[in-house]
Amino acid sequence: MKNVLITGASRGIGAQCARSFAKNGYNVWINYFKSEYKAKNLYSEISSDYPFVHLVKADVSDPVQVREMFDSIGEIDILINNAGISQTKLFTDITDEDWNRMISTNLSSAFYCCRAALPHMINNKWGRIINISSMWGQVGGSCEVHYSAAKAGIIGLTKALAMEEGLSGITVNCIAPGVIMTDMNSHLSDDDIIALKNDTPTGTIGTPDDIAQAALFLANENASFITGQVLGVNGGFVV
């Protein structure tokens, strides 16, 4: 049974990944930091049907807490770097605190977790790292410069690490979601949703399960020849 760690898994995309991986026979570790109530509810929901699920609290933007988390978990075979925040703000209004928080939460966290997970993967000559970026990391989003920069960094990290770890049997890939109906987009009005649907070739808004299914595919043994790739799951919004 493969061990999966999903960061920022208390809600949204991370929570759906936890459900899907548990359902498909993986041993799942649900990482959370602030959303303890939601994490515990998710744990209760999943563990009622699938016993191989665990909770682990850690701020993954803190390298010390990441190391302690991995020490407590042990070996991880599949790492899904999902933890992230968003913020809409004019570039000229972004503060040093805004910038540092965005980069540490959305980019540095993936670096810290990859660094902690890799020794075991290298030793085993097998591993899967799946990083969650965004379509705005591919093309840039107005009033989201710091968010776009962090998510673009995730893409660069993915491509470079894939080149370095291929001979160790480790694949490193990236999923770039489009507009997904999660708490992160709960601020959107009905008119915003209609406009986004109209701008999307499929005429729909994505769901967390769309991303979870992509992650399941990349984690599968059958995806062993796919690495360093950015999989856009966006309904054709960005091509």
Give the pair of three-digit tokens for residue 129.
């790292």
Q: What is the pLDDT of residue 182?
A: 84
CATH fold of the domain at 3-232: Rossmann fold (3.40.50)
Q: What is the mean pLDDT of the chain?
A: 96
Q: What is the pLDDT of residue 185?
A: 72
pLDDT tens by residue, the chain, 239 residues: 999 999 999 999 999 999 999 999 999 999 999 999 999 999 999 999 999 999 999 999 999 999 999 999 999 999 999 999 999 999 999 999 999 999 999 999 999 999 999 999 999 999 999 999 999 999 999 999 999 999 999 999 999 999 999 999 999 999 999 999 887 776 778 888 899 899 899 999 999 999 999 999 999 999 999 999 999 999 999 99
pLDDT per residue over 85-115, tens digit each?
999 999 999 999 999 999 999 999 999 999 9
Q: What is the pLDDT of residue 74?
A: 95
Q: What is the pLDDT of residue 104?
A: 98
Taking the whole predicted model, whether its pTM rises above 0.95 is answered as yes
Residue 147 is a catalytic residue: yes
Q: What is the pLDDT of residue 111?
A: 98
> Which is catalytic among the residues 26, 50, 112, 147?
147
